[in-house]
Amino acid sequence: MFWTSYFLAVLAIVLAWPVPILLSRAHWPARDPFTAMVLWQAIGLAGGLSMIGAMLVYGLEPIGDNLIAGLRALAGMVFQNEPTTALGFWHLFALSAAALLTAHLVFTLLLTYYKIERQRRKHRELLALLASPSEHGTATMVINHDSPVAYCLPGGARSVTVLSDGLMAALEPAELRAVLIHENAHLNQRHHLLLWAFAAWRQALPWLPTTRLAQEAVNSLIEMLADDVALKTESKATLIKAIAIVASGSALPQAAPAFGQSGRTDQGLQLPDGAGGSGPASTTASRVSRLLSPRPPLPGAIRGGVLAVCVLLLAMPTALLIVPGLLG
């Protein structure tokens, strides 16, 4: 149990600090956004599991040879009033920290979801008053605004893509199709769920710099994934021009795909956190640079290796925590 807790603690530190920093500086994610997205998710899940598992295993070390045996002994202490003399101060501290961190992460995840849903509900009510249906489909609405604005509002069957009059006037038909395909890709691929998870991670652990790096990386990757969908039917030149026109409306403080950034149009329409838009200037620059100077896709062997690392990251802490108890 001691060596398991030590290894999990080291793994948690590595995944919480150097690994995200190195990944955020790497250039290969632009060549394969999907694989990079999977890796970021694996890092977050494995890091959190290792962090909590290390404290839990250390705290249970005096009363069990493995996690399951230790949890059984702890349950006996809690529910059957068995003596707790076997647990020292630091073991009790570690168990309390593991319980508090788990509760904090779960609570923050649920609270973030509640806040986002409340914002989206209010935004839909305003759209019903200020927007009109578009000729481009029942799931597309138009707001009366001169600046080029485009974003999507997730909501299951109620999901909509919102465009401004200024954007529709500035775009050619092919460019407008590229924008619509891009925004629909956000909805179809459920990118808002990824944004929710990484936003909650950042809000739960704001003191950890890598939570900011992870959120920024995910914001950029989902835009690249949506661009790749648009490129299947529209030309690269068309998409680049559409991105540039939408980005020209950045003077309007509209919401970026990242949670926690919202703005207001001069019509009084508050864009909710997590509404998919063109993103911040840094994301727009990386998208355009990727399209102007394309690099070859990641080789299959490397892609498979990265996905294997993802599986290993998730399996390693899980196996260290569960397998000894099952074998015992």
Q: State the sign of the Cα–Cα–Cα–Cα dihedral 57, 62, 68, 72.
A: negative
What is the reported pLDDT for 286?
92
In 3D space, the residue among 140, 128, 146, 143 whose CA is nearest the CA of residue 176 turns out to be: 140
pLDDT band of residue 223 (cuts 50, 70, 90) is very high
* Contact call for residues 67 and 56 (beta carbons, < 8 A): yes
d(C-alpha 49, C-alpha 12), whole Å: 8
DSSP 169-234: HHS-HHHHHHHHHHHHHHHHTTHHHHHHHHHHHHHH-TT-HHHHHHHHHHHHHHHHHHHHHHTTTS
The confidence band for 258, taking pLDDT boundaries of 50, 70 and 90, is very low
pLDDT band with cut points at 50, 70 and 90 for residue 199: very high
The percentage of the chain sitting over the pLDDT mark of 70, rounded to a whole number, equals 89
Of 19-23, 59-63, 250-254, the one with minimum mean pLDDT is 250-254
Classify residue 238 as exposed, middle or buried by CB count within 10 Å of its CB (0-12, 13-18, 19+).
buried
Q: In what order do the strands lie in the sheet with 160-164?
A: 131-134, 137-143, 160-164, 150-153
Range of weakest confidence among 15-19, 79-83, 170-174, 216-220: 79-83
Residues in CB range of 196: below 8 A, 6 or more apart: 109, 112, 113, 116, 259, 274
Does residue 256 have a pLDDT over 50?
Answer: no
The share of the chain scoring above pLDDT 90, in percent, equals 77
- 112 and 211 Cβ atoms separated by less than 8 Å: no
**Model's pTM, two decimal places?**
0.89
Residue 60 has pLDDT above 70, yes or no: yes
